[in-house]
Amino acid sequence: MKRSDFLKLSCTGCLLGAAGLVSLTELLSCAPGTALKIYKAPLAGKIITVPEAEVMDGKFSIIRSKGMDYDIALRRIEAGKYEALLLRCTHFSNPLTVSGKGFYCSLHGSRFDENGQVQNGPASVPLTQLPCSLSGGNILIHV
Ligand code: FES
């Protein structure tokens, strides 16, 4: 990528972020080399359905649903086994952003690792894990 293209992309992302038009996860998804997949899925009853093909081994996909106040980080642990973490800080319920291999709360600075365990307080409780099941090539996240 040419320097001028990089600066244009970076400045556009920063301006949109400062204006509150995009979240950090969306910025990360367009940054070169940091592909973070965002999948928009509807909430039907208490289930969010995500095609298995949307999730890669060991890498988080961010699941965003109009019916949910928080994103979900979803990844495949092994064949047929998925982990879904609700990206809600367990301190005072602030939405979390992806940071490195884990998650960060911008309100008071709590950090969680990729398994949802607290790395830095003030939060003291791990992230909520949402049960997942499989049906016809889809992952069903039970919220
Ligand atoms: S709400 Fe996240 S650290 Fe306080």
Q: What pLDDT digit, counting tens, does each position of 105-121 carry?
A: 999 999 999 999 999 99
Q: What pLDDT digit, counting tens, does each position of 5-58 carry?
A: 444 444 444 444 444 444 444 444 443 344 578 899 989 899 999 999 888 777
In angstroms, the Cα distances linking 98 to 36, 90, 91, 140 are: 9, 15, 17, 22
Atom of ligand 1 at shortest range from CA of 110: 3
**Any idea what the Cα angle at residue 86 is, between residues 115 and 27, rounded to 5°?**
90
pTM, entire model: 0.74
Confidence (pLDDT) at 135: 92
Atom of ligand 1 at shortest range from CA of 121: 3
* Residue 97 CB–ligand 1 contact under 6 Å: no
CA-CA distance, 41 to 66, in Å (whole number)? 8
